[in-house]
Amino acid sequence: EKGVNVPPGIAASTVAEAVAAAASFGDDEVVIKSQILAGGRGLGTFTNGLQGGVHIIKSSEVEDYAGKMLGGTLVTKQSGEAGKPVNQVLLAKKMDLVNEMYFAILLDRASGGPVIIACSEGGTSIEDLAEESPEKIVKVPVDPVEGLTDAQAAQVVEGLMVTGDKEVAKE
């Protein structure tokens, strides 16, 4: 609606659901993402030896990858040594990207309200980027009563280095 491409995705809890989800896109390739409550999935390792919890794969490989991911344990920088069980995977349509950005709205424990986290350099290893170059990460606390202001929206747009009509982007 506002010109932001967000790939369609379908969560799957079984291999059969994953295969059906991939088939519904009708494409030769899909993205399969382990769903765990920890960051760093793309660079994680499964205890069964599979490297990475996020893969761009051929649709014909979904059964194999889903079989290795579902029920497996993914170890990431944030999961701890024991890792986290993968009970769901997300199948997403593979997009031809011109630019990848990171955008999240999280609950900030310190303020008790939402905070927007954004970065123009995508989301892979966002935690590492935050450590190495914190100035590249935009953090905008949002008052839960007042909501997002025009000035805060402008701050996010600038931080994402949006090109094109910035007024439309703020909407």
CA distance linking residue 135 with residue 160, whole number of Å: 12
CA distance linking residue 37 with residue 74, whole number of Å: 11
Please indicate whether residue 154 or residue 14 has the higher confidence score (pLDDT). Answer: 14
Residue 169 CB contacts under 8 Å (≥ 6 apart), including other chains? 2, 157, 160, 162
Residue 168 pLDDT = 63
Residue 43 pLDDT = 87
| pLDDT tens sequence across 156-165 | 988 888 777 6
Q: Which residues on adjacent β-strands are paired with residue 89?
A: 12, 34
Residue 40 pLDDT = 85
Average pLDDT over residues 91-117: 88
Picking from 44-48, 117-121, 128-132, which range would have the lowest pLDDT averaged per residue? Answer: 128-132
Grade residue 38 by pLDDT with cuts at 50, 70 and 90.
confident
Residue 18 pLDDT = 98
Residue 170 pLDDT = 55
Residue 151: its H or E element = helix 150-159
Grade residue 51 by pLDDT with cuts at 50, 70 and 90.
very high
Strands 9-12 and 88-93, by their bridges, are: antiparallel
Residue 171 pLDDT = 61
Residue 123 pLDDT = 65
Residue 105 pLDDT = 92
